[in-house]
A and B are shown apart, each in its own frame.
Chain A
């Protein structure tokens, strides 16, 4: 596989609730990216982690979105007070040091009702 697992695969939540999405780049200690894919659209960059450097949060759409990466491996994307427009597939990707291509996990489909 791509060496990235994500959980849950599907999440249905009520508007206003908080959700946590998990990404595990199985190989560990690689660069990690989060993207959002709305229905019928391309991918939007959200956030990037690399080693001990400060993450690049430039793509986060609002302060309701946050992410952390513990121990240089597993990452959690948190969306607070979810809104219907947050409904999308959230994809996580890893990139090995020295490589350019990213490898994607299967994604988490989030539905906010």
Chain B
């Protein structure tokens, strides 16, 4: 079975400081990993994905994430946070070895609050 954990309910950071949102996963095979962002009263927006290749992937709005197989992690990062980055962030995983339907297992979400 596949699962994903976001250990922090909320992350607080000052504008201009680095932002990290943590995600760990559990799958039986090689994972497909995703990050989404949800602004208030909006649907989820795709940020980035890791399928294979370079462990550091770059996405929208200056975000990047690093796949670490030994630590089974896929943390989301941004070097300099903006107030407009305040939103709910979801990590998601798919195990292609066991799931041919493309279903995603989502974490519970991490609320990011960036203060001016």
A106 with B43: in contact, given A42-B90, A100-B94 (CB under 8 Å)?
yes
> In A88-105, which residues have CB < 8 Å from any B CB?
91, 93, 95, 100-105
Whether the pair B103, A91 counts as a contact (CB closer than 8 A) is no
Indicate if A20 sits at the interface (CB-CB under 8 A).
no
A42 with B107: in contact, given A31-B102, A48-B101, A100-B102 (CB under 8 Å)?
yes
A58 to chain B, nearest CB (A): 9
Indicate if B63 sits at the interface (CB-CB under 8 A).
no
CA distance A106 to B38 in the complex (A): 10
> In B24-40, which residues have CB < 8 Å from any A CB?
32, 34, 36
Q: With a CB–CB cut-off of 8 A, which chain B residues contact A105?
A: 43
Q: Is the interface of A mostly helix, strand, loop or mixed?
A: strand
Whether the pair A100, B43 counts as a contact (CB closer than 8 A) is no
Interface footprint category on A = 20 to 34
Whether the pair B44, A104 counts as a contact (CB closer than 8 A) is yes
Interface digits, A2-37 against B, CB 8 Å rule (1 contact, 0 not)?
Answer: 101000000000000000000000000001010100
Neighbour of B45 across the interface among A2, A31, A107, CB < 8 A: A2
| 7 closest cross-chain pairs (CB), A and B | A104-B43, A104-B44, A43-B106, A42-B106, A42-B108, A106-B43, A101-B46
Pull 30 A–B residue pairs with CB atoms less than 8 Å apart, ordered by A.
Answer: A4-B43, A31-B102, A33-B102, A41-B108, A43-B90, A43-B104, A43-B106, A45-B104, A45-B105, A48-B101, A48-B103, A50-B101, A56-B101, A56-B103, A91-B44, A95-B102, A100-B32, A100-B49, A100-B94, A100-B102, A102-B46, A102-B104, A103-B46, A104-B43, A104-B44, A104-B45, A104-B46, A105-B43, A106-B42, A107-B43
